[in-house]
Amino acid sequence: MLTVEHITKQYGNFTALEDISLQFSAGVYGLLAPNGAGKTTLIKMLTTLLFPTSGQILWEGEDIHALDEEYRGLLGYLPQEFGYYPGYTPRQFLHYAAALQCIPKKEAHRRISELLKLVGLSDAEHKKMRQLSGGMRQRVGIAQAMLNDPRLLILDEPTAGLDPRERVRFRNLIHSLAEDRIVILSTHIVSDIETIAGQIVMLRDHKLFCCDSPAGICGKMKGRVFEVPAGTALEENQFLLSERQGEQGTVLRIFCDTPPRGAGPVTPGLEDAFLAIYREGQV
């Protein structure tokens, strides 16, 4: 179990994260917040790349910095910008990553073949990394993060650069991997985690806003999301979430506490909740 205990991260006078406490057990956790809310800072602290200014992060009750390589050995990490050497093939690159994770050669060979198949890169394993598309390179990154069969898998904006088909494939992959491990997936794209995350962690104003199931978060929005025809003048306390094409043309999806005249409540989705929580000016 991974425990985050009252961590705060400050850069000089700027507080990037304040008093965050969380507990992670096996399952998928979606770290959902707009850009600049502190997601990457939290991820970097979970991966030992940053020290918290105060508080501590514990793995099975022990400080992750004290565990050091033992902790890194059970961690799989895909950074927001996955670095690679362009002159190598995915297989060569993964062999390098396996050596860095101290995986024996034979085991690495077997594992790499399995993972290349899993991420759909068996046909491209001998192409140079520079010849691969952004999505394919991202899949190499996911394979790299999975090499040591990690008990804790942390993915920072993993679907950036993936096309819709690849996104679906990625979601299925993560879902299948999460049975016996902790998967923390940081994103600002709601659809990436709506269907696969058991818990959503939301940050606002650099503090923990909530950690709840998608159903729980949507439940809090129940009776507060409405659809009105396009062109309807919005009142001061009504907040426009989105537009969509309804049967009778364009409709506006709005968030407010009291139902607007002539509008019926609709079932709120996670995206509605996200847009309502992070209204303009809220980070």
Binding residues for another protein, per CB under 8 A?
11, 44, 47-51, 65, 68-69, 72-73, 75, 77-79, 81-88, 96-97, 99-102, 141, 144-145, 148
Residue 12 sits at the vertex; the CA angle it makes with 11 and 18, to the nearest 5 degrees, is: 55
**What are the beta bridge partners of residue 252?**
228, 243
- Residue with Cβ nearer another protein (108 or 121): 108
- Residue with Cβ nearer another protein (67 or 263): 67
Sequential DSSP letters for 120-146: T-GGGTTS-GGGS-HHHHHHHHHHHHH
For residue 16, the minimal CB distance to another protein (Å) is 11
For residue 187, the minimal CB distance to another protein (Å) is 18
- Residue with Cβ nearer another protein (36 or 87): 87
CA 234 from centre of chain: 33
For residue 24, the minimal CB distance to another protein (Å) is 17
For residue 81, the minimal CB distance to another protein (Å) is 5
Q: Where are the beta strands (DSSP E) in 147-206?
A: 152-156, 182-187, 199-204
Distance in angstroms (rounded) separating the CA atoms of residues 115 and 113: 6
For residue 93, the minimal CB distance to another protein (Å) is 9
- Residue with Cβ nearer another protein (153 or 211): 153
- Residue with Cβ nearer another protein (47 or 238): 47
SS3 for 42?
A: helix
